[in-house]
Amino acid sequence: MAQPIPGTADEIRALVPAALEAYEFTRDNVLRDGVVDPGLKELCFRYLAEDPETLDLSRFEGRERVALEWAHAIAWDSSLADDVLWERLHALFSEQELVELGCAIGFELGQQHWRRTVGLPARD
Amino acid sequence: MARISYVDPQSLTDPELVEYLENARRFGTPRPETQAIRSNVPAVAKAFSRPWESIFRRGGVEHALKELCRVYVSKTVECRYCGSQRSLRAREQGLAETDYEELLEFERSDQFTARQKAALLYTSMLVWNPEGADERVWAQLREHFSDEEIVELGQFVQLTYGQQSVIRTWDVGHREFLADTTAGLAPERVEG
């Protein structure tokens, strides 16, 4: 299907200035900056977009592995966020990091789904 | 109890964060518990609350319609915490408890207008099958909404969908924080 509204994601968001402003704040302060290593968040965002290089979780360990498992639970099966997963999350992340990482995954998950409804790939 | 600690309200000094928590206490939707978790990281609380105010509470699309879409997301992704909240503003705009009852069967229901059904169909696609937002879906949307309204609706739905998805993993319970307030709770939860 041709793009129903032509343009980049930001050009489409700009039809509603408050939406673009909000996205830019989130991108600059939560998705690409903050208390959690941006590289770790980027890995989770690629996993949400089903980047083939991220899908085999056995390739990862430590903070990366548990962050990806949480991303999976957030996006696809919340029952996987059980006592065991939370124990591992708390062992490897501070509470501030958990707030930021989880919400960042939620923000990115929503934006990826929205992008796909306007004929764009999940990520640039 | 929630998997992440609630912020100590006395520790908040940023007036913007204090206002968000006070609004949650007075009006609900969002309730104080999730705002208190986000407030552990000020940038996160602002990243959520600013568009919540500008796109959900205000904006060009009527608030009551966006509230229907929010509760549809809650019901379909089974976020019970979010699904048992009700927007007081939407109630003031005429949304009744019965309006929520047939949300999951909106396409077959006589409860909803064609405009509401177009918005709910788009919401369903965004959550479950984004590529399914095809020519048919967009044609229905454009019968009832301008491009600006469709973008506002989409940006609201993606925000609430993404946040409800993470809230489901927090195991948050109502009245675990600022327990004196029942603002914004669905009727069946107020008695609880």
One-character DSSP codes across A55-115? S-GGG--HHHHHHHHHHHHHHT-GGGS-HHHHHHHHHHS-HHHHHHHHHHHHHHHHHHHHH
Measured in angstroms, the CA of A32 and the nearest CA of chain B are apart by 12
User: Is B38 a domain residue?
Assistant: yes
Q: Is residue A72 part of a domain?
A: yes
Q: Is the pLDDT of residue B183 over 90?
A: no
Within a domain: A75: yes
Q: Read off the pLDDT of residues B66-100 as tens digits, 9 standing for 90 and up.
A: 999 999 999 999 888 887 888 888 888 889 888 89
ipTM of the complex: 0.98
Bond preceding residue A121 cis, omega within 30 of 0:
no
Assess contact for B48 and B82: CB atoms under 8 A: no
Predicted structure pTM score: 0.95
Q: Please compute the mean of the pLDDT values over residues B164-172 and round it to a whole number.
A: 95
Q: Please report, as a single letter, which amino acid is at residue A1.
A: M
pLDDT exceeds 60 at position B188:
yes
Question: What are B30-40's pLDDT values in tens digits?
Answer: 889 999 999 99
Residue range B154-161: average pLDDT?
98
Distance CA B72, CA B154 (A): 14
Q: Could you tell me if residue A1 is inside a domain? A: no
- The stretches of B106-146 forming alpha helices (DSSP H) are 114-128, 135-144
SS3 for A25? helix
d(CA B91, CA B43): 30
Q: Quote the minimal CA–CA distance from B31 to chain A in Å.
A: 16
Q: Using CB atoms and an 8 Å cut-off, which of residues 52-111 of chain A contact chain B? A: 70, 73-75, 78, 81, 86, 95-96, 98-100, 102-111
Domain-embedded: residue A54: yes
Question: How do residues B111-142 score in pLDDT, each as one tens digit?
Answer: 999 999 999 999 999 999 999 999 999 999 99
Domain annotation covers residue B90: yes
Which range marks the domain in which residue A46 is found? 18-117
Total number of domains in chain A? 1
Domain contains A4: no
Q: Do A18 and B161 touch (CB under 8 A)?
A: no
Number of structural domains in chain B: 1
The pLDDT value given to residue B113: 96
- B2 within some domain: no
Kindly state whether residue B1 falls inside one of the protein's structural domains: no
For A94, the token pair is 């501070």
- Cα separation, A24 vs B32, in Å, equals 25
Minimum Cα–Cα distance from B40: chain A residue: A96
For an interface test with B, the pick among A5, A15, A16 (most B C-beta atoms closer than 10 Å) comes out as: A16
Please indicate, yes or no, if residue A81 is contained in any of the structural domains.
Answer: yes
Residue B3 within a domain: no
Whether residue B34 contacts residue B184, with contact meaning beta carbons closer than 8 Å, is answered with: no
Residue that the structure tokens 């509401």 belong to:
B116
Query: Would residue A7 count as lying in a domain?
Result: no
Contact between B158 and B126 under an 8 Å Cβ cutoff? The reply is yes
Please check whether residue A42 lies inside any domain of the structure: yes
**C-alpha distances in Å from residue B134, one per residue of A114, A117, B69:** 13, 8, 19
A34 in contact with B, Cβ within 8 Å: yes
Q: For position B180, what pLDDT does the model report? A: 74
pLDDT for B189 equals 63
Angle at alpha carbon of residue B72, lines to B42 and B56, rounded to 5°: 40
**Does residue B190 register a pLDDT over 70?**
no
Examine residue B117 and state whether it is found in any structural domain, yes or no. yes
Q: What is the pLDDT of residue B27?
A: 85
Query: Range of B132's domain?
Result: 9-190
Structure tokens at A46: 């690629």
User: Of all helices (H) and strands (E), which one includes residue A56?
Assistant: none
Judge whether B4 lies within some domain: no
Q: What is the pLDDT of residues A56-113, one digit of tens each?
A: 999 999 999 999 999 999 999 999 999 999 999 999 999 999 999 999 999 999 999 9
Where does the pLDDT of residue B178 fall: very low under 50, low under 70, confident under 90, or very high at 90 and above?
Answer: confident
Give pLDDT, residue B192.
45
Residues of A in contact with B127 (CB under 8 A): 113
